[in-house]
Structure 1
Amino acid sequence: MLALMMDRALSLPSILEYAALYHGDREVVTRTVEGPIHRYDYASALARSKRMANALLAMGVKPGDRVATLAWSTHRHFELYYAVSGIGAVLHTINPRLHPDQVAWVANHAEDSVLFFDISFGELVGDLAAKLPLVKTFVAMTDRDHLPTQAPAGTLVYEELIDAHSPDFTWPEVDERQASGLCYTSGTTGNPKGVLYSHRSTVLHAMALVAPDTFDLGARDAVLPCAQMYHANAWCTPYAAPLVGAKLILPGRHLDGPSICELAVAERATFLLGVPTIWVGVLDHLDQTGGKLTTVRNIAIGGSAPTASLVSRVEEKLGATVRQIWGMTETSPLGVINTALAKHADEGALGAASRKLKQGRGLWGVDLRIVDEAGEILPRDGKSPGQLQVRGPWVASAYFKNEGAQAFTDDGWFDTGDIATLDPEGYLRLTDRAKDVIKSGGEWISTLDLEDAVCSHPAVAMAAAIGVPHPKWDERPLLLVVLRPGQTADPEVLKAHVAERVARWWTPDEVRIVDSLPIGPTGKVLKRELRDQVATAAV
């Protein structure tokens, strides 16, 4: 027997429609790329999103077309989150920290037809335009006075498009399983892989985020996401905040300690999130100035694991509760979050500190399992490490264009590439990474790309890139190089050689020339052994 309930699609525009109707005067505040603070409310954001929806249709954008952004966290980017997906097109947020060649690669792989960009990327877009044959329209996200001179010929101006179109618009009915967003992950070796979100998956994910045991958000909160909107959709906060009518504070391009503290104080932020390096900068600034963030209730830390000292510093300095999270682009990104259970009320300071170092506990919507190399499920005893696999309604079932299919199991799970344990209370703890990528400041760095870059130098025979601990960035690359017989090379010259071939922030802090590298029985470099050797200063 089928139920007699209305079958209403879960759609992203419904979130902003709700916010405008029931929380229409709640603010969206932006530190703009041009400089000044911009503020308006959800009712105005909806009207402008509808104007942009009309503009997109006038450009010829059709359902399923990919519309790209190279943009920071701003009110204009927020409008595109709804306008693009709302007409049935797919919003492709490109990470501008990628090497320019990779920016072009992902835009071409996604088959983007329109590219919106912030003025700080005018030179980049101007240089790349000839390499983007499928992009028919470029739009600078600014007004006429700030249009970059380097922008491609014929570039349209965002504010002129807004002014030229009416806010009269009715969102089309879309299948909730229709694609709404596309994010590429560089958390694997080789080319980035595309993760294609749906309206349904994103709405469900946003609903999960606002729950008390996740981000605990409501209409009285002021949310300051210190993860950029090109990075896993700013951890879905541009959807979660309007879903409950929370104030949304968008930091623009500046995520340094002074800028974040200034916004958080001025706008009375109650919830902040970001990678560990963000909080190092915030705490260092507060220590230097004697300032305080008195309104913050919760801080979510993810991207890479925070240290015990960082968690302690955040909670002592800010008086806020730290909630560590683990997730991936493939999980939208929330996978687990570290919140206490009722039984932990009397756990004491040491017990709480130990628990908070775990990545988090499972929540409804994400199933977790740990398997061994044979695929057998391991016990949840907190002691048996294995491959972490996940599934759920906001977890990817495949990569865009079915690349990287080996990451998805025959029985419907996604293999994360992480090695972890699960304990009897359901807390996940990562113990190692199966892949050899390096996480620096919450962003992935491909060791294969670094090794390929240095091995293109004629003096280099082989190389291995590993991550080493760093007080600010959590990990930074160390490149160990074996030279060809009879060859010599200055490590600084090799570093410069690599810097010319990868994104600037990927450049290793150190290139170290060694006599040999440990090789395993299959001919692969034993990187775990290398990390152990480096840790004990044996190399």
Structure 2
Amino acid sequence: MPGGTDLTLRPFLWRAENLYPDTEIVSRTHEGIERYTYAEYADRTAQLAHALDAAGIEEGDRVATFCWNHHRHFETYFGVPTTGAQLHTINPLLPDEHIQYIVGNAEDEIVFVDPSLVEKLAGAAEDAVEFDDVEFVVMGEDVPETSLDPVTDYESFVANHETEYDWPELDEDQPAGMCYTSGTTGRPKGVEYTHKMLWAHTMESLSPGGIPMDDDDVVMPVVPMFHVNAWGMPFTATAGGAKHVYPGPSPNPEDLAHLIEEEGVTITAGVPTVWLGLMEYAKENDVDLSSLDSAIVGGSAAPRAMIEWFDDHDVELLHAWGMTEMSPIGSVAHLKAGLEEEPYEDQLKRRSKQGLFVPGLEFRVVDDDGNEIPWNGEDFGELHVRGPSVTTEYFERPDANEEDFEDGWLKTGDIVSVDEEGYIKIVDRAKDVIKSGGEWISSVELENSIMAHDDVSEAAVVGVPHDRWQERPVAFVVPVEGADEEALREGIYEMLREEYPKWWLPDGIEFIDAVPKTATGKFSKKDLREEYSDEDLFEGRAPEEAAPDDD
């Protein structure tokens, strides 16, 4: 396209700066609450761009962040890609060897790092050749004692630079961002986001079928900014002219409740454990959620009981689904026109699903033979997706490209069903579905049912080896404080018997202190399988009736 008409991020920044110069950006930082306006944000973003130029960063170079959610991190979201460089967000919760691989594979030139994460990054960088040519900028006003070298503080890095910048005309296919998958089953896979992909994702999100944000909204992404651009919310909120609120390093439920109350948050987003924590805190404290219109939940399925609790507090818990490879939002569980008139129970069933695909994307669901399944809510197969915000290849991974892409389609690895209205329901990940006696059991469905019990905080279900049935489900349950475990075990079985055939019932229910989490906050079934690989360990076994029938 001719210069100035390509689909890039720059117009979003221009719109916010010129139409909403006085709208606030609020940030909880190591130094306390910081607040400034879009006009001031644009000035600092220009200063950052000049600082990157002065540091020798050129078009196509990669600049990494190792940060929590705050205003300085947000400044890199536009200050890096609109110069033609590429923003690479690194998950600081990853193991050191993954961080080393990611930095080396991406060939990062600079890493911006939070003060509280300096020690973690220094540990990963120590004696690692991948960091030999990297410069470090600490996202604060001072540099703590560290072995990182060369290093400077962020305020000194951007100080004394001009607040006006001549933003270059960029091609929409220019890489703007980069994020790596968590690498739970092998080396992390890099996903590059072009300007066009992020532009398209922002437009998909702004549509009524996405997660729209307007100039009267106050948006607080709790989902980490290092995890697929906080689900794209910083870009969407900027394009919509909304007020931003960033919860900063390691916010607890009290921090989130305070920010919602004090800043009038209307839209927020995070994984289910975030909202479980807020629920528990609100039950014991006086929390005002009256400003909150919707809380987006993703990463794993939202328990029905959680949706009902938020409904009781006049907050819509909006289920969304996506992937790193999709920039990431793919579907949102809005109710179609007319379906609001359904009985509440039927509405809950639809809202508990992953929802309707956002405008701009296409999907298909295929069985093992490659045939598309009917939309009847019962048959299921693997979900394939494509669209302008979906990547078509991994960064320098031809082996994974061959496995995960087919004729322009991304093979998601999610096993889903589709109902007659087009609502997607994830039955399981292909690697997590439990195959027992030739039949499939959905671990996700069992987890959601178990977590509907009032005395359950978390639950994960995995398949364990079985000599006769190949695999059998076992549930790992975190009870709420003070719950009677034996009564709870029987209560869970009684509840499951009402919903599922007897061969679906878990062979055992084990009580644990916490379900292990991945670096992105999802339940880590891989860790559970490794820790509890011997089926003889399970003491909380179901009655004999739980085994599959011989036929």
> Which residue does the alignment assign to 1:380?
375
User: Shift of the alpha carbon at 1:152?
Assistant: 1.3
Residue 338 of structure 2 corresponds to residue 343 of structure 1: yes
User: Shift of the alpha carbon at 1:470?
Assistant: 4.7
396-405 vs 279-288, which deviates more?
Answer: 396-405
User: Shift of the alpha carbon at 1:134?
Assistant: 4.8
> Which residue does the alignment assign to 2:171?
175
Residue 364 of structure 2 corresponds to residue 369 of structure 1: yes
User: Shift of the alpha carbon at 1:535?
Assistant: 12
- Give the AA of the match of 2:357: G
Residue 27 of structure 2 corresponds to residue 27 of structure 1: no
- Give the AA of the match of 2:95: H
User: Shift of the alpha carbon at 1:13?
Assistant: 2.4
* Counterpart contact for 2:135–2:149, Cα < 8 Å: no
User: Shift of the alpha carbon at 1:362?
Assistant: 1.6
Within 5 Å, which residues of 2 pair with 1:49-128?
A: 49-128=45-124
CA distance in 1, matches of 2:188, 2:472: 21
> Which residue does the alignment assign to 1:490?
none
* Counterpart contact for 1:397–1:408, Cα < 8 Å: no
Question: Which of residues 131, 135, 138 in structure 1 aligns to 2:136?
Answer: 138
SS in 1 for 2:156: helix
SS in 2 for 1:342: coil
- Give the AA of the match of 1:26: T
CA distance in 2, matches of 1:515, 1:325: 35
50-59 vs 121-130, which deviates more?
Answer: 121-130
User: Shift of the alpha carbon at 1:169?
Assistant: 1.0
Structure-2-length-normalised TM-score? 0.80
Within 5 Å, which residues of 2 pair with 1:246-285?
A: 246-285=242-281
CA distance in 1, matches of 2:545, 2:174: 52
* Counterpart contact for 1:407–1:414, Cα < 8 Å: no
> Which residue does the alignment assign to 2:389?
394
Within 5 Å, which residues of 2 pair with 1:433-512?
A: 433-436=429-432, 468=476, 470=478, 508=528, 511-512=531-532
Question: Which of residues 514, 532, 539 in structure 1 aligns to 2:534?
Answer: 514
CA distance in 1, matches of 2:3, 2:154: 38
> Which residue does the alignment assign to 1:329?
324
- Give the AA of the match of 2:22: D
> Which residue does the alignment assign to 2:10?
13
Question: Which of residues 194, 210, 223 in structure 2 aligns to 1:198?
Answer: 194
212-221 vs 85-94, which deviates more?
Answer: 212-221
CA distance in 2, matches of 1:67, 1:6: 25
User: Shift of the alpha carbon at 1:114?
Assistant: 1.0
Aligned length: 475
CA distance in 1, matches of 2:209, 2:14: 26
User: Shift of the alpha carbon at 1:85?
Assistant: 0.6
CA distance in 1, matches of 2:229, 2:370: 32
SS in 1 for 2:320: strand
**Residue ranges of structure 1 left out of the alignment (5+ in a row):** 448-462, 473-497, 518-531
> Which residue does the alignment assign to 1:410?
406
CA distance in 1, matches of 2:529, 2:372: 40
User: Shift of the alpha carbon at 1:388?
Assistant: 0.6
SS in 1 for 2:373: coil
CA distance in 1, matches of 2:413, 2:260: 36
User: Shift of the alpha carbon at 1:121?
Assistant: 1.1
SS in 1 for 2:80: helix
Residue 35 of structure 2 corresponds to residue 42 of structure 1: no
* Counterpart contact for 1:275–1:302, Cα < 8 Å: yes
Identity rate, percent? 35
Q: What is the Cα-based RMSD across aligned positions, in Å?
A: 3.4
Structure-1-length-normalised TM-score? 0.81
SS in 1 for 2:282: helix
**Residue ranges of structure 2 left out of the alignment (5+ in a row):** 434-442, 452-459, 463-470, 481-515
Residue 230 of structure 2 corresponds to residue 210 of structure 1: no
User: Shift of the alpha carbon at 1:320?
Assistant: 1.2
CA distance in 2, matches of 1:35, 1:61: 29
CA distance in 2, matches of 1:536, 1:106: 49
Kindly provide the CA deviation profile for residues 319-365 of structure 1, in whole angstroms up to 9, marking residues without a partner as x: 11121011111111101000011121310211111111111112211
* Counterpart contact for 1:235–1:334, Cα < 8 Å: yes
SS in 2 for 1:312: helix
> Which residue does the alignment assign to 1:484?
none
> Which residue does the alignment assign to 1:238?
234
User: Shift of the alpha carbon at 1:212?
Assistant: 2.4
> Which residue does the alignment assign to 1:162?
158
CA distance in 2, matches of 1:464, 1:195: 35
Kindly provide the CA deviation profile for residues 286-336 of structure 1, in whole angstroms up to 9, marking residues without a partner as x: 11013221111111111100111011112213x111210111111111010
505-514 vs 9-18, which deviates more?
Answer: 505-514
* Counterpart contact for 1:71–1:118, Cα < 8 Å: yes
CA distance in 2, matches of 1:101, 1:537: 42
TM-aligned CA distance change 1:408 to 1:47, over 3 Å: same
> Which residue does the alignment assign to 1:310?
306
TM-aligned CA distance change 1:433 to 1:508, over 3 Å: closer
* Runs of 4+, deviation exceeding 6 Å: 4-7, 437-441, 463-467, 532-538
SS in 1 for 2:406: coil
CA distance in 2, matches of 1:368, 1:202: 19
- Give the AA of the match of 2:389: W
Kindly provide the CA deviation profile for residues 212-247 of structure 1, in whole angstroms up to 9, marking residues without a partner as x: 232232100000111010011001111011101100
- Give the AA of the match of 1:65: D
TM-aligned CA distance change 1:189 to 1:537, over 3 Å: farther
CA distance in 2, matches of 1:281, 1:119: 26
Kindly provide the CA deviation profile for residues 97-118 of structure 1, in whole angstroms up to 9, marking residues without a partner as x: 1112211111111111111100
SS in 1 for 2:396: helix
Kindly provide the CA deviation profile for residues 253-289 of structure 1, in whole angstroms up to 9, marking residues without a partner as x: 1332111000010000011111111111111111101
SS in 2 for 1:177: coil
CA distance in 2, matches of 1:512, 1:153: 42
